[in-house]
Amino acid sequence: MLNFIYWPISAVLWFWHKIFGAMFSPDSGFSWILAIVFLTFTIRVVLVKPMVNQMRSARKMQEMQPKMQEIRAKYKNDQQKMAQETQKLYKEMGTNPLASCIVPLVQMPVFLGLFHVLRSFNRTGTGPGSLGMSVEDNRNTANYLFSPEDVRSFLDADFFGVPLSAYMSMPESAFAAFTGLDFSRANIIAVCLPLVILSAVFTHLNARLSISRQNERRASGKVNVPTGDSAQMMETQMQMMNKMMLWIFPVMILGSGFLWHIGLLFYMLANNVWTFFQTRIVFDKMDKEEAAEEEAKRAAKAASAPQVGARRVDKRSKKQRRQGM
């Protein structure tokens, strides 16, 4: 049903594995990990522009809050008029509230697609989602764009002696697919748990970076803080969302980490690290753009103001001047 996602994901992963496999060894875990990391970077490069638009839209949405509050107060008994005025404000400000949804909507199917493709390298075992294939059949069956030879390469690749498609809750019946590797569940946990923790930490840091900027802008007066009962409700909702970003999301990663393959954990970690540095770069660029806009406004205001000591020109007609006398 989701083959339109699985095939493109496998194609990008296959491409990067061929690149790094030629540079290093095609059967090494290092080549496969680099392929997963660069698949992540490929997706994020495509999403750079939508991500920047999302962050700019979020800034404008903050600036719009006082006007939004005025509209809600003025048209609280006319929902249709309120919607019309709100859309008009969005158009005037050049923003779109749906812009914040584009990046998550793209990343979610990529995450699910990679999860499925990586899991499909090992179709043995009898646990949830397993196909119960024999070890021999599994090693000789293609996985989307990956040939049986590629499947064997991935199954034999390891990271500190643990196969890349291993995960902490993997049923022991699936261990046999990894011929030539001697590992235990303790080995899997020793490799997976630090990656889970790092992903959770970077999720927290990314949230803290965004919230700190939000608070700095509010404290500096760059964002007008609305007042009133509805504003208090919005403030409460924002605080709840901030707490979710700071703590709940990282805790969810920690709580669900037993499900994620080592390969998928590298995707999550690479994605979070990219987000951290991209956010810092974009925020710096936006600060410079904002400073340039403020400077342009000051220059325009100074140019339109009358010069000190300049003679005032009386534009009235002679008749009007005589009548004034």
Q: Per-residue pLDDT tens for 72-130? A: 778 878 888 888 888 888 887 777 777 667 777 888 888 889 989 988 898 887 766 56
- Sign for the CA dihedral angle at 137, 160, 270, 194 comes to positive
C-alpha to C-alpha distance for 210 and 213, rounded to whole angstroms: 5
Burial (0-12, 13-18, 19+ Cβ within 10 Å), 82: middle
Q: Which tokens go with 45?
A: 């490069």
Q: How many CB atoms sit inside 10 A of residue 191's CB?
A: 20
**Residue 317, pLDDT score:** 56
Please check the confidence at residue 56 and state whether its pLDDT lies above 60.
Answer: yes
Is residue 260 within 8 Å of residue 268, measured between CB atoms? Answer: yes
Please check the confidence at residue 320 and state whether its pLDDT lies above 70.
Answer: no
Which one-letter DSSP state was computed for residue 241?
A: H
Torsional class of 225: left (φ above 0), alpha (ψ -120 to 50), beta (otherwise): beta
* Helices assigned H by DSSP within the chain: 3-23, 29-46, 48-74, 79-93, 99-119, 135-139, 148-156, 185-220, 229-243, 249-256, 262-304, 318-324
C-alpha to C-alpha distance for 38 and 15, rounded to whole angstroms: 10
The pLDDT-based confidence of 251 (bands split at 50, 70, 90) is very high
Is residue 45 within 8 Å of residue 34, measured between CB atoms? Answer: no
**Residue 78, pLDDT score:** 81
Helices 185-220 and 48-74 pack at an angle, to 10 degrees, of: 50
**Residue 23, pLDDT score:** 94
Is residue 97 within 8 Å of residue 61, measured between CB atoms? Answer: yes
Residues 6+ apart with CB under 8 A from 207: 242, 245, 246, 249, 250
- Token look-up 């008749």 returns 319
- Token look-up 């964002």 returns 223
**Residue 94, pLDDT score:** 72
- Sign for the CA dihedral angle at 215, 217, 68, 49 comes to negative
Please check the confidence at residue 222 and state whether its pLDDT lies above 70.
Answer: no
**Residue 299, pLDDT score:** 84
Please check the confidence at residue 325 and state whether its pLDDT lies above 70.
Answer: no
The pLDDT-based confidence of 232 (bands split at 50, 70, 90) is low
Q: Which tokens go with 315?
A: 């534009």
**Alpha-carbon 115 to chain mean position:** 17
Is residue 181 within 8 Å of residue 164, measured between CB atoms? Answer: no
C-alpha to C-alpha distance for 89 and 315, rounded to whole angstroms: 38
- Token look-up 């004034």 returns 324
The pLDDT-based confidence of 189 (bands split at 50, 70, 90) is very high
Q: Which range is least confidently modeled, 45-49, 91-95, 118-122, 297-301?
A: 91-95
Helix (H, G, I), strand (E, B) or coil at 223: coil
C-alpha to C-alpha distance for 122 and 178, rounded to whole angstroms: 9
